[in-house]
């Protein structure tokens, strides 16, 4: 599993709508609307690097209303949970 955290700044009037669109995409596990410098944080869990490139540049970043984005690609994930299993079961 390859993971990434995407920090997003969104047009104020579209925060809910963008969050819903993103969270409906295959590979986007969850989207947080947050306080602070960013508006949304999306967590991505896909099977390999190629799927990550595809999801981010061909789908996510084309959503209207996104002003700015910064993708933090994960080297490693540390967790007591078996995330890989949980999220494939959950899907």
Positions that interact with its own copies (CB under 8 A): 2-5, 12-13, 15-16, 19-20, 22-24, 29-38, 41, 43, 49, 52-53, 56-58, 61-62, 66, 69-83, 86-87, 90-91
Q: In angstroms, what is the minimal distance from the CB of 51 to its own copies?
A: 10
Beta carbon of residue 22, minimum distance to its own copies (angstroms, whole number): 7
| Smallest distance from its own copies to CB 78, Å | 4
Nearest-CA neighbor of 8 among 40, 53, 30?
40
DSSP 8-state code for residue 26:
T
* In contact, 68 and 89? CB cutoff 8 Å: no
């Amino acid at each position: 599993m390859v993971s990434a955290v995407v920090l997003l700044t969104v047009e104020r009037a579209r925060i809910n709508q963008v969050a819903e669109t993103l969270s409906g995409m295959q590979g986007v596990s969850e989207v947080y609307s947050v306080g602070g410098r960013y508006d949304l944080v999306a967590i991505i869990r896909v099977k390999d690097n190629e799927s990550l490139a595809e999801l981010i540049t061909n789908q996510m970043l084309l959503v209207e209303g996104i002003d700015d984005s910064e993708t933090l690609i994960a080297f490693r994930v540390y967790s007591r949970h078996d995330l890989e299993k949980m999220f494939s079961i959950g899907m």
